[in-house]
A and B are shown apart, each in its own frame.
Chain A
Amino acid sequence: KQEVTQIPAALSVPEGENLVLNCSFTDSAIYNLQWFRQDPGKGLTSLLLIQSSQREQTSGRLNASLDKSSGRSTLYIAASQPGDSATYLCAVDGRGGGADGLTFGKGTHLIIQP
């Protein structure tokens, strides 16, 4: 059974710092990996998707990397801002065949101090 772990569980940093969130998964036979953001009481906003054949994806100040063989992904946030405060979830789509569900990590709760 696929298991996803995220480190750290919580992180509080001053505004402007660059930071790295880590995600690891136990079964490397994945289709893709997605990073989401969740604000309190809200749904999930998709940030980046990395296909299994890709090494990284970038969107604005966000950069996600994937090392499928070692079962690891990182989300790099450059020049952090208070508006980046949220819970960041890593999820893998790891089953074969047709449409499938995601397996989520427990998330990293990020606070950016003004």
Chain B
Amino acid sequence: DTEVTQTPKHLVMGMTNKKSLKCEQHMGHRAMYWYKQKAKKPPELMFVYSYEKLSINESVPSRFSPECPNSSLLNLHLHALQPEDSALYLCASSQDRDRGYQPQHFGDGTRLSIL
């Protein structure tokens, strides 16, 4: 069982819809991450939050909007997505690097399909 919980597990949406992906962890981690994984490709970093502040945005289009309302929650708001945005979206968390060398823990992901 994963300690990082992502909801929903599957999401199908049209290009004009607005939806949100949710990620939750209760391990006391202060760093949280969003990755995008296309089929048969490795995960690619999208965003990093450190102590609830956005620290890295890997030039992600504005139709993806991250939010970290508190230290346990990470959201990814979706709007006007394109078919090529269909992918597995993975959330991860870790202790902030200043606390030592800690592994990233991943959730099971949300499989997103854009019609």
Contacts and interface: CB of A to CB of B under 8 A. Distances in A.
A45 B42 CA distance: 14
Interface string B23-52: 000000011010100000111110011100
Interface in A18-47: 31-32, 34, 36, 41-46
Nearest to A47: B103
Interface in A92-110: 93, 97-107
Interface residues of A, number: 26
A45 B90 CA distance: 12
Nearest to B90: A43
A49 interface: yes
B104 A34 contact: yes
A6 to B, nearest CB: 9
A13 B44 CA distance: 29
A99 B43 contact: no
Given A99-B97, A104-B42, A44 B90 contact: yes
Interface of B: 2, 6, 30-31, 33, 35, 41-45, 48-50, 55-56, 58, 88, 90, 92, 94, 96-98, 101-109, 111
17 contacts: A32-B101, A32-B103, A34-B104, A41-B88, A43-B107, A43-B109, A44-B43, A46-B103, A49-B101, A89-B43, A93-B97, A98-B31, A98-B50, A99-B48, A100-B97, A101-B33, A101-B35
Interface of A: 31-32, 34, 36, 41-46, 49, 51-52, 89, 93, 97-107
